[in-house]
Amino acid sequence: MTETIFAVATGRGKAGLSVIRVSGPDAAKALDFLHVGSLRPRRASLRRLKMPDGRIIDEALCLWFPGPDSFTGEDTVEFQCHGALSVVALMMETLGLIPGFRLARPGEFSRRALDNGRMDLTEAEGLADLIDSETEQQRQQAIRQLTGGLSCEIDHWRTDLIGVLALFEANLDFSDEGDVDTGVLVQAESRLSRIRDQMGKVLATGTRGERLREGITIVLAGAPNAGKSTLLNVLAQRDIAIVSSIPGTTRDIVEVRLDLGGYPVTLLDTAGLRESSDAIEQEGVRRMLARAAVADIVVWLRSGDEADSAIPDEIRSIPGLLMPVVTQIDRYKAGWEDLAISALTGEGMDELVRTLTELVHNLMGQGGEGAVLTRARHREAVAEALESVDRALAVLHSAGTELVVEEVRIAMRAIARVTGHVGIDDILDQLFSQFCIGK
C-alpha cells in the first residue's frame, strides 16, 4: 500500500509564504482533516485550515490536483500557507496525525513522478539540476534537460534502432534460409551510419555538460606579492583574502564562488610560490601545487618588474590551461607581451574578465546548444551504444544476422539506461515474437 507523503516544498525559514505538498492515495483526507471541505480541481481557494479541535491554524490558498494529472501522478493537495515557522511546524504536526500519512523523504515527490511515468530519468535529473543551478548557463542547460532535450534525442535513436531490427525481421519472414537481401543490408547500413554520426556528435560535447553542472576551477598562482589576494578581492568585489606588502601573507587556500558571464566558477587564492624554510609556508606551496594540478585554468601572476621571469616548471607542466598575466602595471611602466592589469586602478581588468570568460565558455560551451550529456553515466552509456553500433556496422556484410541484431539490442539497452526506461524488453519481445533468429 502506497503511503501518503507530505513536506514543505519551499525554503526553510521565515518567508511570506510556505508551500506544503501532500501526495498519495489518501491526499484528499488532508482536506477533510483540516476542515477545508471539497475543492474544485486545479482552482485556488482561500480556506481556513483548522486543527481537529476546531482551532484555526492559518488561512491559506488550497489546491487540489486529482491524479493522474498532477506532478507526481497521484492525488495531490497543495497548501500555500503563511511562511511563519510556527505555522509550518503546526501544519507538519497536524498532517502527521492523519493515519497513513508520513513526512516525505528527500526527492520523494520526484521519485513518484518518475515511477508513475510523469517524467523520465534525464528529466528528473534536469529538475534536480535546475533547483541546484546558480548561474544563467546552468539554468539554461537544466531547463533543456528538464523539458526533454536529451530524452528526445534518445527516443529518436531508439526508434531508429527498432527500425533497423524491423528491416531484418521483415526480410527473414520472406527468406527461407535466412539469407539477407543486399537491399536490406544497404538500408541497415545507412540507418546505422546515421545513428553512429548522431551519437558521435552528442559524445563530442564531452564533459562540457558535466563541467557546467559542477562549475570550473580557476587558480590564482604566482610569486609572493604578485597581487593574487588583491586580484581575488577585486574579482569577488569583497574583502575576502588578507592583503599585505609582506611576502608570504597567504598560506591557506582561499576559495570564492563567482558567476563569470553566466558560468559558475570557483576562484582560488593561494600561497606565493617560492623556496622557503618556513614549514607553514612550504605546506601552503604544496597545497597550491596540488590544486593547480587539478584546476581547469591557472592564472600565473607576475608583477611588472618580474614580467620577464620564466614560468617555473612546476606550473608549466600543469594539465589545465595556463594564462600568464602581468600585475601592478600602475607601478611599472613598460610594454607587456602578456595581458597586463592593475588591480588598483582597474586598468586591463575588463580585458582580464573578458579573456577568462572566453576560456570558460570554450571549456563548457553554451548551455542552450543541442543535446548535452550532463552526467558521466550518460556519457558512458552513449559511448557503449556507439561501440555496439560500430561493431554492428563492421560485421554487417560479413557475419550472420544474429550478430548484427545482438549488437543493436545491446545499443538499445545502453541508451535505455540513460532515460531509465524499463520495458525495453517488452518492445523487443513483441518485435521478435515471430522472428526466426537462430533457427
Ligand X SMILES: Nc1nc2c(ncn2[C@@H]2O[C@H](COP(=O)(O)OP(=O)(O)OP(=O)(O)O)[C@@H](O)[C@H]2O)c(=O)[nH]1
DSSP 8-state code for residue 248: T
Closest approach, Cβ 349 to ligand X, in A, equals 9
Interface with ligand X includes 122 (CB under 6 A)?
A: no
- Interface with ligand X in residues 334-363 (CB under 6 A): 342-344
Q: How far is the CB of 342 from Mg ion (least distance, A)?
A: 17
- Of 187, 249, 276, 366, the residue at the interface with ligand X (CB under 6 A) is 249
Rounded distance, CA 233 to CA 269, Å?
9
Query: What residue 330 binds from Mg ion, ligand X, none (CB within 5 to 8 A, per partner kind)?
Result: ligand X
Specify the residue, 148 or 272, whose C-beta has the smaller distance to ligand X: 272
Q: How far is 94 from 30, CA to CA, in rounded Å?
A: 9
Q: Which stretch binds ligand X (CB under 6 A): 70-78, 203-211, 328-336, 397-405?
A: 328-336
Stretch that binds ligand X, among 56-64, 132-140, 173-181, 221-229 (CB under 6 A): 221-229
Complex with ligand X: residue 302 or 375, whichever CB lies closer:
302
Is 205 or 229 the residue whose CB approaches Mg ion more closely?
Answer: 229
Q: Which of 96, 31, 33, 99 is nearest to 66 (CA)?
A: 31
In single-letter form, the type of residue at position 23 comes to: S
Secondary structure of residue 146 in the 3-state scheme: helix
Contacting residue, 21, 118, 211, 228, with ligand X by CB under 6 A: 228
Is 270 one of the binding residues for Mg ion (CB under 5 A)? no
Nearer to ligand X among residue 251 and residue 391 (C-beta): 251
Comparing CB distances to ligand X, the nearer of 82 and 274 is 274
Q: Of 157 and 300, which CB lies nearer to Mg ion in the complex structure?
A: 300
Asked if 248 touches ligand X (CB under 6 A), the answer is yes
Q: List the one residue from 38, 182, 237, 245 that touches ligand X (CB under 6 A).
A: 245
**What are the residues facing 297 on neighbouring strands?**
218, 321
Taking CB under 6 A as the rule, does residue 230 contact ligand X? yes
Q: Which amino acid is at 237?
A: Q
Q: How many CB atoms lie within 10 A of CB 321?
A: 16
Task: Say if residues 357 and 364 touch (Cβ distance below 8 Å).
Answer: no
Within 260-299, which residues bind ligand X (CB under 6 A)? 271-272
Closer to Mg ion by Cβ: residue 29 or 228: 228
With H, G, I as helix, E, B as strand and everything else as coil, classify residue 13.
coil
Beta carbons within 8 Å of 115's beta carbon, 6+ residues apart: 73
Q: Which is nearer to Mg ion, 244 or 362 (CB)?
A: 244
CA distance 4 to 55: 24
Stretch that binds Mg ion, among 47-55, 191-199, 249-257, 431-439 (CB under 5 A): 249-257
Q: 120 is written with which cell numbers?
A: 523520465
Question: How many CA atoms does the CB half-sphere of 250 hold within 13 Å?
Answer: 32
The number of C-alpha atoms within 13 Å of 411 and in the hemisphere containing its C-beta is: 30
- Among 80, 171, 327, 374, which residue interacts with ligand X (rule: CB under 6 A)? 327
Told to check if 227 binds ligand X by CB under 6 A, we report yes
Q: State which amino acid sits at residue 277.
A: S
Site string for Mg ion, 197-236 (x = CB under 5 A): -------------------------------xx-------
Q: What is the DSSP annotation of 69-93?
A: SSSSSS-EEEEEEE--HHHHHHHHH
Please say which residue, 24 or 222, places its beta carbon nearer to ligand X.
222
Q: How far is CA 356 from the centre of its chain?
A: 22
- Residue 398: partners with Cβ closer than 8 Å, 6 or more residues away: none
Amino acid at 300: W
Shortest Cβ distance from residue 313 to ligand X (Å)?
A: 19
Q: Which of 122, 138, 229, 419 binds ligand X (CB under 6 A)?
A: 229
Burial class (CB in 10 A: 0-12, 13-18, 19+), 168: buried
Where do contacts with ligand X occur on this chain (CB under 6 A)?
222, 224-230, 243-245, 247-250, 271-272, 327-328, 330-331, 342-344
Where do contacts with Mg ion occur on this chain (CB under 5 A)?
228-229, 249-250
